[in-house]
Amino acid sequence: MLSSRPLRGMRVLDLTRLAPGPFASLLLVDLGAEVIKVEDPAFGDPARYGLPGQSSPGEGDSALFRLLNRGKKSITCNLKSVQGRVIMMQLIAGADVLLEGFRPGVMKRLGLDYEAALEANPRLVYASLSGFGQDGPCRQKAGHDLSCMALSGWLDLTGAADGAPALSAIPIADMASALWLALAVTAALLERERIGKGCYLDLAMLDSVCALMAVPVAEMMSGSSLPQRGDTMLTGKLACYNLYQTEDGRYMSLAAIEPRFWESFCSAVGREDWLSRQYEPEQRTLISEVADLFRGKPRGYWVELFSNRDCCCEPVLTLEEAAAHSQIQARGLWREGILHCPLGSCEGADAAAPRLGEYTAQVLAELGYTLEDVEALRSEGVV
């Protein structure tokens, strides 16, 4: 884990909402950056009120918002107002990074696009995060995580061989794009130190998902055969890499791809006759035999049996069980209101998520605005 604050002194203006952009800026917070979250005065980030259909506190303090926005400073600014755009350009002049997540063309219509920002601050790293990117035939289409998962081919490969494509409980496109965005911004800041000027970054959720598909794409490019749902090495084709139901209706995962792990597994269950069959062309019979084995005992038996065996066999835990697991607790990954970056978080990064506009007066004071100015702007709907 990092013991320092590599982005200390960097100011990030975050205009993004919901999950992808805020998760990216959360990672920048954990790396030491100061993140100013710019929100609409009337409503703020919709994530404040939870996901559709979920109940949330009336003060815009949903669990999702708290997790994704700890350690940030919220200011309100109406970008549709003339004075709001003036304030935004003043902020841009003193910032290191700007993150925006609008559809292509919106920032240009507001007069806040990269070209305008560049005039105010040539050292600015300006990053646009969108569903499909700033060019291409889909650039103006609406899209969410599921849209990008569908178009990437990922969904068609996910699920049982005899079933429909399976939905993921995790918004993979959202989270992947956040990781790519944080990486790109960090690299751009490093490059800025070498060349003395900022740059423009075009990040797309669809691109982010496609970039993660090395294994199935490599199989496709090999020309041997097209990967099929539930029939690839990682999706149920092999007995040694599969999910198995136990006697009590729970599940165990087996990931003994390497021969030494398969050997350890076979030895543990007393089935050395399976050793030579690990990669036999026809796997259905072996899968059935291994499934029968697991169905013969409850999950707790298998957990105990494999606890000291090096064979990559672990229980499929519920989210509640995972939160209580000793390894996750030892690493401090999930605590009440806090989602920790695997790199570790720096001092101040664990501060509570801000109330809507909590830091408006403080940040505007740095630009020369008095409390009376801020109150006047607030009464006019500018902040």
The predicted structure's pLDDT at residue 234:
87
SS3 365: helix
Q: Answer yes or no: is 329 within a domain.
A: no
Per-residue pLDDT reduced to its tens digit, 264-275: 999 999 999 999
The predicted structure's pLDDT at residue 341:
72
Catalytic residue among 14, 96, 145, 174: 174
The predicted structure's pLDDT at residue 57:
46
193 and 278 assigned to the same domain: no
174 is catalytic: yes
Residues 6+ apart with CB under 8 A from 188: 125, 127, 198, 199, 201
Of 315, 344, 366, the residue that ends a domain is 315
Residues of the chain with pLDDT under 50: 56-57
The predicted structure's pLDDT at residue 2:
64
Report CA dihedral (125, 142, 107, 354) to the nearest 10 degrees: -70
Nearest residue to 35 (alpha-carbon basis) of 256, 348, 364, 303: 348
Q: What is the pTM of this model?
A: 0.90
The predicted structure's pLDDT at residue 270:
97
Contact status, residue 72 vs residue 110, Cβ threshold 8 Å = no
Rounded-to-integer distance, Cα 46 and Cα 22, Å: 12
* Tally of structural domains, the chain: 2
Q: Answer yes or no: is 297 within a domain.
A: yes
Residues 6+ apart with CB under 8 A from 130: 101, 102, 103, 104, 139, 203, 204, 205
166 and 287 assigned to the same domain: no
The predicted structure's pLDDT at residue 232:
86
Catalytic residue among 61, 144, 202, 373: 144
Q: What is the CATH number of the domain that holds 274?
A: 3.30.1540.10
The predicted structure's pLDDT at residue 224:
73
The DSSP 8-state label assigned to residue 246 in this structure reads -
Which residues share a beta bridge with 199? 125
270 and 200 assigned to the same domain: no
The predicted structure's pLDDT at residue 32:
93
The predicted structure's pLDDT at residue 345:
61
306 and 375 assigned to the same domain: no
325 is catalytic: no
115 and 198 assigned to the same domain: yes
Rounded-to-integer distance, Cα 297 and Cα 367, Å: 68
Contact status, residue 311 vs residue 265, Cβ threshold 8 Å = yes
36 and 161 assigned to the same domain: yes
Q: What residues make up the domain containing 84?
A: 11-211+334-379
Give Cα 195 distance to the centre of its chain: 30
